[in-house]
Structure 1
Amino acid sequence: MTLTTTGGKTTLAAIARLTGVSAPTVSKVVNGREDVAPQTRAKVLAALEDAGYQSPGQRRTAAGPSVVEVAFDSVNSNYSLTVLNGILDYAAEAGVEVMLSATQHAPAGGHDLSRRAQRMVDEGRAGLIVVTSAFAEAQLMAFRRRQIPVVVIDPLNPPPGDVVSVGATNWAGGRAAAEHLLDLGHRRIAYLGGPKSAECNQARLHGYMSALMSRGIGFGPELVIHGNFRAEYGVEGLSALLTMPEPPTAIFAGNDAIAVGVLREARRRGIRVPEDLSLVGFDGTTLAEDSVPALTSVAQPLHDMGRAALRTVLRQARGEQLDSHRVELATQLVIRESTAPPAR
């Protein structure tokens, strides 16, 4: 069956005739609606792709500068600001405009999220970058169904297989942090991490555990405490660790914010860092450089992660084939003033 076009442009009615479904059904597929059978959706999408159909938003994108939406949980942290600077730097090089939004204010309902995704299509967004978001697989797929390129930076939950994620070598960084403390002579090393289910937190924890096991050093579950990636948790975590009959001599904090909370509580209690307690953070943000004492930390290439995320979104928007759906950049342990051999 031949495809009929109007004025050189493929019409939804022509797609409907070609696939044997109704025009409203084709419209639902184009708009990413949920109430279409999977087989029907696949047949219509294939026909749209073969016909080179472009939505009005896609045609606007092709005609003018690309606009990429970047969604943060918040931008009030050194982590988020460094990632954002990387995105903006690459945007300036690529001639791309960036629009910011907040995932914490995004509606959680499926229909509301579908409307948000459809708005991106209608406004001609080239793609979406989500930073450390807890968007679930079903939520991310609302964008993917509309063929909106999506890249997630440091996802809390593993994204769907066809969604690209950008992160750092968290496992290697966790192992490097623990090995540094072991090399100094510490044997009771605690881990104060973020959310237990967070993918990056699990990788850092497993790297820490691997370093201890490789030295034949056992550790009890009381030395591993999960919470969140905020400074308040560092305060709570250190308080809990100090109730032990034998408190740890060193702490590996899941990020720099937690480590700063540990420093704050240690200072309040008269505990000297690093004389009485060694401390390692993770992220390598300006928090680590500006803390007193300056914090030993596993540095993530946050600026480069932002650049890589935007570069990958634009490659997808151009229809380029990606070599991998996971991009990992190397971490580096930066030794400063917060670690020393344990007191005798």
Structure 2
Amino acid sequence: MAGNRRVTVREIAAETGMSIATVSRALNDHQAVTPATRALVRDAAERLRARTGAAARPKGGAVFVRCPYILTDYFGLIVSSIAETLTLHGRQLVLTAGEAAQRTPLLADLDGRDGVTGVIVILPPDPGADLVELQRRRMPFVVVDPRTILPRDIVSVSAAHFAGARRITAHLVELGHRRIGVVGGPTEWLASDNRLAGHNAALADVGVLPSAELLRTVEPSTERGHRAAAELLDLPEPPTALVCFNDKAAVGALRAAAERGLRVPADLSVTGFDDLDLAQATGLTTVRQPLREMGRMAVSLLVRLLEQHELDALHVELATELVIRSSTAPPRPA
């Protein structure tokens, strides 16, 4: 079923170029039909159901945006950009966000919302099976900044985490740093893995092996960044620089350095990631993520899905930019 209308045998016959009798036998698992023919008929039926389902959705219908986080500067920038772009496309926004959204699974959150024609999910904490199930329901959706590796045919948009992390560590390496501590993000996050890989790649370029002693993984917050940075700075041989998962963790690292009488950047270089307002206020060297563009791109990809346009690029990565400020300098001479 698609909407209130069934896909007919005649439509499947026209889609495949087969006779109505052959299609009917294939759908009824007649023994005279080969497995290959039966597969062709079923694939055609699925395509027609998808088209009919899309046609049944109201033009200019609502888009359900799910951001199960408090709308701070990071998530607020993405959601605001999505809202503005949906308005330009004449589509209504249905938003759920914050802790309430964290307590409700994606599919349960979506069920019962009438008039929704598409979905945008931001850094979804939901199991990958929920996204696969959403796809099975043929609901067009886009994932912004996926937390885990997605199936190839699920559409997503994110920043180029690997390239951004590699560039900021390369900046420290070019200044002369070799003992660089990492305040990384949660190990189960795709962005954490990619940024750590980028950091390690920049070290490998100058023949430096990564050290487990210099790595701490935390939830990205100011307080946890402070705690992790304190552990690294209290090592018998502390790092000369810290790369932090985001700007908030970096601000925590700045506080840990100040508590130990370390001057930034004379005694310690500190970097962040995101380029939020607090990075600009504290003079933090960081990586600028195109957060607003991620929101705009998510809407663009979703509208193309809703209008049944073909997408060749399903996993879109947007370029990041290194922003050098006053928190990095060459290491102090031994």
Instruction: Output the CA distance in 2 between the equivalents of 1:211 and 1:237.
Output: 22
1:61 aligned onto 2:58 = yes
Counterpart of 2:224? 233
- Return the letter of the residue paired with 1:340: A
Counterpart of 1:217? 208
Instruction: Output the CA distance in 1 between the equivalents of 2:193 and 2:320.
Output: 16
Structure 2 matches for 1:179-190, cutoff 5 A? 179-190=170-181
Structure 2 matches for 1:1-344, cutoff 5 A? 10-11=5-6, 47=45, 49-50=47-48, 54=52, 59=56, 61-62=58-59, 65-102=60-97, 105-106=100-101, 114-120=107-113, 123-291=114-282, 294-344=283-333
Structural RMSD (CA): 3.0
Match of 1:87, SS state, is helix
- Is 46-55 or 192-201 further displaced after alignment? 46-55
Question: How far does the alpha carbon of each residue in 1:177-200 deviate from its partner, in whole angstroms, 9 at most, with x for none?
Answer: 111111111111111110112111
- Return the letter of the residue paired with 1:186: H
> Does the 8 Å contact 2:69/2:102 carry over to 1?
no
Match of 2:132, SS state, is helix
> Does the 8 Å contact 2:7/2:45 carry over to 1?
no
Distance 1:13 1:183, change over 3 A: closer
Distance 1:155 1:246, change over 3 A: same
Instruction: Output the CA distance in 1 between the equivalents of 2:273 and 2:76.
Output: 16
Instruction: Output the CA distance in 2 between the equivalents of 1:259 and 1:107.
Output: 26
Instruction: Output the CA distance in 2 between the equivalents of 1:87 and 1:164.
Output: 16
> Does the 8 Å contact 2:200/2:209 carry over to 1?
no
Tell me the CA shift for residue 267 of structure 1.
2.6
Tell me the CA shift for residue 303 of structure 1.
0.7
> Does the 8 Å contact 1:118/1:146 carry over to 2?
no
Instruction: Output the CA distance in 2 between the equivalents of 1:114 and 1:302.
Output: 26
> Does the 8 Å contact 1:151/1:309 carry over to 2?
yes
Counterpart of 2:33? none
Distance 1:106 1:145, change over 3 A: farther
Match of 1:50, SS state, is helix
Instruction: Output the CA distance in 2 between the equivalents of 1:97 and 1:219.
Output: 48
> Does the 8 Å contact 1:171/1:203 carry over to 2?
yes
> Does the 8 Å contact 1:296/1:334 carry over to 2?
yes
Tell me the CA shift for residue 242 of structure 1.
2.0
Counterpart of 2:34? none
Match of 1:341, SS state, is coil
Match of 1:210, SS state, is helix
Tell me the CA shift for residue 220 of structure 1.
1.8
Q: What TM-score, normalized by structure 2, do the two folds share? A: 0.83
> Does the 8 Å contact 2:70/2:98 carry over to 1?
no
Question: How far does the alpha carbon of each residue in 1:112-132 deviate from its partner, in whole angstroms, 9 at most, with x for none?
Answer: 754544434xx1212111111
- Return the letter of the residue paired with 1:333: L
Tell me the CA shift for residue 248 of structure 1.
0.3
Distance 1:61 1:337, change over 3 A: same
- Return the letter of the residue paired with 1:305: M
Instruction: Output the CA distance in 2 between the equivalents of 1:341 and 1:46.
Output: 63
> Does the 8 Å contact 1:71/1:103 carry over to 2?
no
Distance 1:73 1:113, change over 3 A: closer
Tell me the CA shift for residue 106 of structure 1.
4.6
- Return the letter of the residue paired with 1:61: P
Question: How far does the alpha carbon of each residue in 1:205-231 deviate from its partner, in whole angstroms, 9 at most, with x for none?
Answer: 111111111101234211111111111
Instruction: Output the CA distance in 2 between the equivalents of 1:250 and 1:102.
Output: 36
> Does the 8 Å contact 1:117/1:142 carry over to 2?
no
Tell me the CA shift for residue 258 of structure 1.
0.9
